[in-house]
Amino acid sequence: MTELPDRRLLLVHAHPDDESINNGATMARYAAEGVHVTLVTCTLGERGEVIPPELGHLNGAALGGHRLGELTDAMRALGITDFRLLGGAGRYCDSGMMGLADNDDPGCFWQADVDQAAGLLAEVVREVRPQVLVTYDDNGGYGHPDHIQAHRVAMRAADLAASSGWEIPKVYWNRVPRSVAEASFKRLHDDLPGLPFAAAATVDDVPGVVPDERITTAIDGTTHAAAKAAAMRAHATQITVAEPYFVLSNELAQPLFTTEYYELVRGERSETRESDLFAGITVGDAS
């Protein structure tokens, strides 16, 4: 068995680009610190909307293959070497936005058997033995079916792994404190006339915004801001970056957060806000 570093972090995301937007600074910081960072992406995002006109011909499997290349480039920018597709490339396809006929595709992730998919993820958990798991809340941050399913699969996989020998000490959900989001959008509105974007999104367009008191952990990734921006740029079909802002296919500007926030949902909470996902964990033998 390959010897693993003392600290091990697992992130579960729905599509390529979600990891860089939500956790890029966190991933880059921990990778630079020697943490074993594992990313599991559940689909290739075959139904994503493509931004650049020159890539507009991509769809379905062709788009999925292209986005896998983008993911590879993004991981290189963040310093991550362990990234995987749940069950292998093409096992589960993108489900499209909630309410579309795409949701009924028997091969899409939304239609996956949760226990079966969680079993595949639990194999990764048992192999890597992470002390920390990061994923979405039960609404997937903003209601996308693949994000909701990623939450279900990740939480179930943690249970399955615990019952067979590896209990993950800390589980976090991606969050953004409302006060930070509101202040960031105020700056965005002030800066908008000088940006290459015509309009701004709103706080409600940001996944995972919650009252400040729900935030348990803030990871300062400002020294890795350039790595996060580079990783987001690598996902060129989905994101256009003009630091410290970006747009998705809706062309509405959002802040690019380099301090990333989390809510601890399993594990012992500190009385004060954490600055380290591994706070309180005694690291040592990976066995």
Q: Measuring CA to CA, how many Å separate 164 from each of 123, 125, 139, 152?
A: 10, 10, 28, 19
Q: For residue 73, how many other CB atoms are within 10 A of its CB?
A: 15
Q: What is the distance between the alpha carbons of residues 143 and 174, in angstroms, rounded to a whole number?
A: 14
15 labelled binding-site residue: yes
Alpha helices in the chain (DSSP H): 18-32, 60-78, 114-128, 145-163, 178-191, 225-234
User: Has 66 been labeled as part of a binding site?
Assistant: no
Q: Considering Cα of 185, then 190, then 195, then 198, what sign does the dihedral take?
A: positive
Report which residue type is found at 285.
D
Q: Is the dihedral of CA 64, 70, 75, 78 positive or negative?
A: negative
β-strand partners of 83:
39
3-state SS, residue 45:
coil
Helix (H, G, I), strand (E, B) or coil at 39: strand
Whether 29 and 226 have beta carbons less than 8 Å apart is answered as: no
Q: Is 151 annotated as a binding residue?
A: no
Question: What are residue 83's phi and psi, to 5 degrees?
Answer: -135, 140
Binding-site members for Zn(2+) are: 15, 18, 147
Binding-site members are: 15, 18, 147
